[in-house]
Structure 1
Amino acid sequence: MGAGAEGIEANRLNDVNFAKDHKAMSRAGWMRSGAGLFTACLMLLGSQACAQHAHIDPASGYRISHYRAVVPDTAPGATRVGTQEVEEFFKEGKVAFIDVLPSTGAGFDPNTGQWRLSETHANIPGSKWLPDVGRGNPDAVLDRYFALNLKAVTGGDKSGAILIYCKADCWMAWNAVKRAAGYGYTNIYWYPDGIDGWAEWDNPTAPAVPVPVTVVSE
């Protein structure tokens, strides 16, 4: 198994079923976060806020587990938009739509780059589906995959408009927005209602087809 596949498998063990709530973090995870920090969090913010905090990597700021949960009101480096704005973007055709719903299945084939899916889904027509790029700790292969595809849809213009979405209450999109901002993109729209909000208003959908991963021979 190649390094890319191993990274995907490790992530998959951490998040076997995206649609279900994850169990509480392991004792080791809590210890890494620091008992003192958690105690301080309880005193300042309360138990619910600290439960959310426990799933955030304190070093990177990315959500690393329990990806299906209530998201913040804002995302770093992005403008939050609702369905009405997204409908306008869709009609105008000037914004690149990026679907970051994670894959379900065996990940991508390290030899061909094709995604091995056990489930499919629908997304906003014209979207680029880039699975797993919203994970909190993607390996170098997925990080490169995301960066290259953003470059492709914007023509290398980091001021080009991109819209990132997933499902409702999806930290994958929040993470992906933060990552794109870290690459230097300055015109990012975040659609937290995602495909759920889009479909709720009877907007058109299309079968999602994942963009293959470019396999680099060593």
Structure 2
Amino acid sequence: MIRRAALLLLMAVTPALAEVPEPQGYRGEPYSAPVPATLAGAEVIDAERAGALHDAGVAFVDAYPRRRRPEGLPEGTVWNEPRHDTIPGALWLWDTGYQQLSDAEQARLTDGLAQATAGDGSAPVVIFCRADCWMSWNAAKRALGMGYSQVKWFPGGTDDWVQVLGRELVRAEPVAP
């Protein structure tokens, strides 16, 4: 009885243990939350597969959002944009994983995917963020909707890159607005 109660309590406080369904459209806030184990039309990959694809020269796209100067900071306050680290060689297509994209964000995703794949919709592309980050799920789903046929979604992202593979990250440089 005590074991069963402990298991039920553990399941209640550990939402990652529950299966997360794929939404019909794109996921909104909170973006940092457990993600589905699937993405219809994409290959969901683990860290080992991501490492092998990276070593083979497959394009990697980082969908992590860019942190900008918060509104309402007092005049004269110095703002330093936080550093974002990513997988070496990845193209950082910031702000392209939101539920709704502005025209500029959509253009960044469209142009960035074309750059990453040399305009070949059948070229493989790995899309990632951090673990439990809906930004990469949304961006990968959009890539599928844009006709990319070899989308690889890496839900463990930079966290698994470091923790599972023991590989290093590098400072990300955002693509031009």
TMscore range, shorter length: 0.7 to 0.9
Q: Supply the RMSD in Å over aligned alpha carbons.
A: 2.0
- Quote the residue 2:52 is aligned against: 88
Residues 166, 159 of structure 1: alpha-carbon distance in 2 compared, 3 angstrom cutoff: same
Contact map agreement 1:129 1:209 (CA 8 A) in 2: yes
Describe the SS at the equivalent of 1:64. coil
Deviations 1:58-113 (A, max 9, x none): 6xx111110011101111321000111111112111x1100111111149xxxxxx
Higher relative contact order (CA 8 A, sep 6+): 2
Tell me the CA shift for residue 128 of structure 1.
0.4
Aligned residues: percent identity? 36
CA distance in 1, matches of 2:129, 2:112: 17
Counterpart code for 1:89:
L
Counterpart code for 1:73:
A
Instruction: State the TM-score, normalizing by the size of structure 2.
Output: 0.79
CA distance in 2, matches of 1:125, 1:84: 16
- Quote the residue 1:111 is aligned against: none
How many correspondences in the alignment?
149
CA distance in 2, matches of 1:64, 1:117: 27
CA distance in 1, matches of 2:43, 2:147: 15
- Quote the residue 2:156 is aligned against: 193
Tell me the CA shift for residue 196 of structure 1.
0.2
- Quote the residue 1:21 is aligned against: none
Contact map agreement 1:99 1:127 (CA 8 A) in 2: yes
CA distance in 2, matches of 1:205, 1:64: 27
Contact map agreement 2:61 2:116 (CA 8 A) in 1: no
Counterpart code for 1:178:
K
Tell me the CA shift for residue 117 of structure 1.
6.5
Point out the structure with the larger helix share: 1
CA distance in 2, matches of 1:123, 1:117: 18
- Quote the residue 2:139 is aligned against: 176
Counterpart code for 1:74:
T
Describe the SS at the equivalent of 1:97. strand
Structure 1 stretches of 4+ moved >3 Å: none
